[in-house]
Chains A and B, each alone.
Chain A
């Protein structure tokens, strides 16, 4: 089946710093890729997605580009805010034809004022 690897956290940044959270995947074919965010005490929320190679997903200032050459889908934001403090999960379908997603282990981001 497909799998995903995320960078270990926590990532601690000052407000307005640049953010990168690395995600690499192993997959059959070119499945859709997702980033989810989990704020404290809440469920996961879809942050952005990309459905094919070279697509760029974006939302709330976050971006990620589907790179088939490097099998990566790194999450970036140019200027983080304290309110971005959360856990971020990279995800993709478990296998071709299966609707279930497999999630990375999550990366905790802490933004300090």
Chain B
């Protein structure tokens, strides 16, 4: 299996622009997680889905962030409008019928 796939790997954008991060989970996994990693706050859970349905979005920072999972093989995390404090590495992870999660390589977002 190819593992969790994320795109783009790097994104540089200007403040106020819309940013869309993409994730393809491992085939057959029914849980998908979005995390954000920064030096100051470590690894934070933003939202997770089960069978394409959002289960817990309490970690989403504010209304500027939204996430969707239109089907079992694709999810997006959108930030609109972006701000410099959104600069971080964003990880997607997926999980099957056990608790262990498999992470993608991450998207490094820089907002100038």
Contact = CB atoms under 8 A, between A and B. Distances in A.
Interface of A: 31-32, 34, 36, 42-46, 49, 89, 93-94, 98-103, 105-106
A98 B99 CA distance: 9
A54 B53 CA distance: 36
A32 B103 contact: no
Contacts of A45: 103
Given A99-B31, A100-B33, A100-B48, A105 B103 contact: no
Nearest to A103: B43
Contact of B99 (A42, A93, A103): A93
Given A89-B43, A100-B45, A34 B56 contact: no
A34 B43 CA distance: 15
B104 interface: yes
Given A99-B50, A100-B33, A106 B106 contact: no
Contacts of A32: 98-100
A99 B42 contact: no
Interface in B83-112: 91, 93, 95, 98-106
Contact of B56 (A36, A98, A105): A98
B85 to A, nearest CB: 20
B52 to A, nearest CB: 14
A88 B31 CA distance: 23
A44 B103 contact: yes
Interface in B1-59: 4, 31, 33, 42-43, 45, 48, 50, 55-56
